[in-house]
Structure 1
Amino acid sequence: MALDGKSVLVLTTNYGTEQDELTKPVAALRDAGARVVVAAQKPEAIATLVSDKDPGEKVEPDTTLADATSDGYDAVIIPGGTLNADQLRVDEDAQRLVTAFASEGKPVAAICHGPWL
């Protein structure tokens, strides 16, 4: 399915996101033509984990949760990872973003522990 012209926002913390739950959806969406923006809590590298314990890839965010809005995006994705989800569910910026997407009737996708938010 081509996603040309679609934009997706991905919400994450800077530590504890499950590697494959961040990198694989981002790659698949980009391969399908979507513009994907990764928003993290801080403007520094995201240290992913494998199986919630082993170090994974580092991923550079495009923006921060504080600076992100729902404007201009068609959907939002919340990757899992126990540590990631536990921090995101109490993050006011992440809560604000998911509430905005839901209020606007835009898709909110959550992977594994992501629905905690």
Structure 2
Amino acid sequence: MSAKIRKSIGKIKGLLPTPTIRKAQRKPPGQAPGTVLHTGTQKLDKVLITVHDFTETHFESIPITEIEKSAPYLSDSSKTWIQVRGLHDIDTLKKVWDFFDLHPLIQEDIVSISQRPKVEPTEK
């Protein structure tokens, strides 16, 4: 291969992103279905919970420390989104899941970072 071709290939390689191999983190084999185990890395010190409450004319974003404080926003006619950042603290997440009575298999999907986003309608 000529030096001119090698130089051109070097320039092209510098322009394109280098592919990286991501190793999927999974729970150890043999775990029962519904076993809650965070498979990602801890990026925050603590779990942050924010209530976003909105209507056509109003928007409010409220950081909360306890999920029970979201109850007044859930009972009115506005739309409410509860954002949970940080999936490493299972005890805090259990309080949220218990408040909303989430099925154990849904809980398992939430903390599994390899699980693709999805919507599962439930009857409530």
Q: TM-score, normalised by structure 2?
A: 0.26
Question: Which one has the largest radius of gyration?
Answer: 2
Structure having the larger proportion of residues in strand: 1
